[in-house]
Amino acid sequence: MIQSRQASINIVEGEFKGRSFSSLSQNEVTKLLEELKNNDQRGFNILNVIISQNKQTSSSSDKSQMTEEEALSVLGLKKGASDEDIKKSYYDLMKKFHPDKDGNNYLSNLITEAKNKLLNK
């Protein structure tokens, strides 16, 4: 069974404000990633994980599993982070990306999956 992880991502700031991620060309995605890298490291990390998982899903018939490195990247942590650091980062991100706070289900699920991956090693 192929499980696809699709997200509707709307860009809310910067050069591509008001556009959906899926409407961007490869060159525009590169520019967006550079903009995020310079201005929003967590956004950059999350978008890289989404792109990586979409590539894995399209090239494999196995269910895509988040790696520990991806989980750390989503939460903006380094290897060896304590359970307390993981929980703090999780709560900080959920304050920003929870669907009830103008976030979306996909991102909140991604953040939750990262927390669970790291806490349930």
pLDDT of residue 90: 94
Distance of CA 4 to the CA centre of its chain: 15
Q: What is 62-119's CATH topology?
A: Helix Hairpins (1.10.287)
* Total-model pTM: 0.62
For the chain, give every domain's residue range.
62-119
pLDDT band, residue 55 (cuts 50/70/90): low
Alpha carbons 39 and 32: distance in angstroms, whole number: 10
Tokens coding 11:
């860009």
Q: Is the pLDDT of residue 40 over 60?
A: yes
| β-bridge partners, 20 | 10
What's the pLDDT tens digit per position in 84-108?
Answer: 999 999 999 888 888 887 777 888 8
pLDDT mean over 12-23: 87
